[in-house]
Every structure is written in structure tokens, then in C-alpha cells.
Structure 1
Amino acid sequence: MSVANYCILVACVLPIVCAGLAKSKGFGKRRREGGYDNNNPREWMARLSGWQARANAAQANSFEALPLFIAGVLAAQQLGAEQARVDMLALSFITFRLIYIGLYLADQAPLRSLAWAAGFFSAGALFFV
């Protein structure tokens, strides 16, 4: 399996990590004490604030970024692009997504948008290698 294929797996795990961070406020607490409510998870998540709310938003955006990235890697490989270039672009996408998530949690909106754009262009470039 190539580095780019491993990057697909990492990209698929990132939203789950973000969801875990968002829900961490409720871990170890009973539901009636504000703990995570698995019966009404979206309602519970909608009441989050601060970095946990931003982690939930990063989760949603991470899911939104997946299709373009996965399609880009698979298209590049199917069309016979040089694997080293595909791997480099896939690694850059993952790097920018990690930076994006960190900046989202830190409430650094302008820098976060730059990281998002860099990741988007990394994923888009996969179609042209």
C-alpha cells in the first residue's frame, strides 16, 4: 500500500478524532450531570461552546473534505501519476488538515482559513499530477 493510501486512512480517522475531542467534555459524567447524551447526540453537541464546539465544527469540515481528497488520490493513481508526487500531495493534505484542526481548536480563524485553502489545493492538485 502506498503512502497516499495510508493518508486516506488517516484522513478518514481525523473526523472521528475531532468528534472525540468535542465529546470529551461529557466523558465520565452521567447524562443528568451534563455527560454525553447518546440518546440525543446532536442536541447535546449543539449546546457545546468554546473549543469543544469548534472541535465539532472541525469534525463536520473534515468529513466534507474527504470526498475530494479520496477521489484525487484514486484518480491520480488510476491515471498512472508518479507515485512519489501523489504521496507528497497526500502528505501535504494531511499536514494542512492537522494544522487546520489545531488552528480551529485554538480559535485562529484567519490562519485556519489559509490552512483549509492549502489543503484544498493539495487535494485538487492530485487531479492534475
Structure 2
Amino acid sequence: MHIAYWCILIAGVLPVVTVGIAKAGVKNFDNHNPRQWLDRQDGYRRRADAAHRNHFEAFPFFAAGVLVAQQLGAPQDSIDMLAMAFIAARLAYTFLYLSDRATLRSVAWAIGYLSAIALFLLAAFKGI
């Protein structure tokens, strides 16, 4: 299996990891109304939930970029490199979000987003 496919899997797991961080070790977690409970949190738990939501938002665009690039025959090594750059950026984004480093977090987000865009451009301009 190509590295880029593993990266799609990792990207799909990141939301679960971050919401797990938000909920971990809490005795008063309300599983009947988890979203309302999460909305009332603050500090790193609130930021972990925000990262969780953002990972879900980023996932479809990234996964589509990988699949489009492969479908249109872009070079696999380039696809794999961009997919790994996306994952590295998203991991950095998560760490920076949890540690409340907003400016650096935004830089990491932008790198991930640009990596996903580059996957589409790689496919579009593969023959040029």
C-alpha cells in the first residue's frame, strides 16, 4: 500500500485522538450530551476539541487530493511526500493547538492546507 494511503488513515484517526485527549481523565464527562459537555470545557480540553473538529474539516480535502492525484497519474513519490508533509503539519498543528501557540499553529495549518492544494496541482500539471 502506498504511503499516501497510510497518511489518509492517519488523517482519519487524528480526530479521534484529539477528542480522546479532550475527554481523558475526566470523571464528570457526560456521554449523554458529549458536544454540550465539550462546549463547556476550557483550556487544553477546549483546544483539543477545536483541533478535533478542525481535523474532521481538513480530512475530506486532503483525502480527495491524494485520490485525485493518484487517479490522474501524478508521480507517486511526489504524492507520498506531500501526504507526509500534510500529516507532519497536522501533527504539529495539534501539538501547537494543545500548547496554546496560536501563531505557530496557524503556520502549521497553512502548511497542511498548502500540501493538500499541492496534491491537486500536482495532478493538474503532471504533464507540463
TM-score in same-fold range (> 0.5): yes
**Correspondent of 2:95 among 82, 91, 102:** 102
1:1-129 equivalences in 2 (<5 Å): 1-26=1-26, 29=27, 35-129=28-122
Runs of 4+ in 1 over 2 A off after TM superposition: none
Aligned pair count? 122
TM-score of the pair, normalised by structure 2: 0.93
Structure 1 unaligned blocks of 5 or more: 30-34
Identical counterparts, % of pairs = 57
SS at match of 2:29: coil
SS at match of 1:48: coil
1:25 is displaced (CA, Å) by 3.9
For 1:119 and 1:71, the matched residues in 2 are separated by: 14
For 1:51 and 1:40, the matched residues in 2 are separated by: 20
For 1:119 and 1:11, the matched residues in 2 are separated by: 11
For 2:112 and 2:25, the matched residues in 1 are separated by: 29
One-letter amino acid of the structure 2 residue matched with residue 77 of structure 1: Q
1:47 is displaced (CA, Å) by 1.3
What is the root-mean-square deviation in Å for CA atoms of aligned residues? 0.7
SS at match of 1:36: coil
CA contact (8 A) 1:18 1:56 kept: yes
